[in-house]
Amino acid sequence: MKRTYRIISKAALPALLLLFAGLPFSVFAKDKDKSKTPKISYEVDIDYPLFDSEPMLNAQLAQIVQQELQTFNKEFFAAETPAYSQVFEFDIENGSLYEDTVYISFLLKIYRFTGGAHGETTLIPITYSKQTKKLLSLEELVKPTRKDWLSVLSAEAQKQLSTQVKKRELTSTDDWITQGTEPKQENFAVFKLEKNQVRFVFNQYQVAPYSSGMPEIVVPLTLFK
């Protein structure tokens, strides 16, 4: 059974202690000089699934969230007092979830705003084996039988993204797409298992400008065989 853990906070207090899945997390907000304005405050919204039958997965998710939260804390405390009052944001949510008898797979979406023109969105792939109780890499998931599987995946990604450009569904260039889909595992690190296929999502700026968001492709599992 899947449950959802959710915490929403908005504060400009010295410290706020949050608990996620039984593990302690610290989120801090600051006022660099209470005698002066402007100030920096924060908003935190964390929402991710928990699984009654998979405590090991819950523990690994909690650790990931804690690490991301600690990174946000460091950025928050390192920020200089702005010229005007500013609210930093840290949001975690999950997309659609796939589950079968062996795997649980979804993406954690993390939005972080710590000043500047716009925030940053990153995705963390969560593909969990119910058998080994571990999070899997792409290679561990697809178990490729062909040695050139990365080259084949790269070619398929370039083909699909180029088609999206031709259909005006995506704004990009051939060079940008080619560079971002080179046959390297790091270029295909964000993935999600679906029924008989794998969905890949490319990070902001990886294959297209920021305005194009995070392009996606879908490939059948047979591609790796």
Kindly list the domain boundaries of the chain, sorted by start residue.
2-135, 138-224
Cα gap 129→113, rounded to integer Å? 33
pLDDT score, position 194: 98
Find, among 185, 180, 174, the residue nearest to 216 by Cα.
180
Whether domain 2-135 has CATH 3.30.1180.20: the reply is no
Task: For 135-167, write each residue's pLDDT tens digit.
Answer: 999 999 999 999 999 999 999 999 999 999 999
Find, among 221, 154, 214, 212, the residue nearest to 183 by Cα.
154
pLDDT score, position 117: 76
Residue 118 in this model has a pLDDT that exceeds 90:
no
Q: pTM for this structure?
A: 0.84
Residue 113 in this model has a pLDDT that exceeds 80:
yes
Task: For 30-85, write each residue's pLDDT tens digit.
Answer: 444 443 445 778 888 999 999 999 999 999 999 999 999 888 888 877 777 766 77
Find, among 104, 94, 107, 86, the residue nearest to 39 by Cα.
86
Find the mean pLDDT for residues 115-122.
85
Q: Who has greater pLDDT, 25 or 125?
A: 125
Task: For 91-110, write each residue's pLDDT tens digit.
Answer: 999 989 999 999 999 999 99
pLDDT score, position 3: 57
Which CATH number is associated with domain 138-224? 3.90.640
Q: Which residue type, as a one-letter code, is found at position 221?
A: L
152: which 2 tokens? 């084949």
CA angle 138, 214, 201 (to 5 degrees): 15
Q: Which residues of 18-42 are buried (b: 16+ CB within 10 A; e: fewer)?
A: bebbeeebebbbbbeeeeeeebbbb
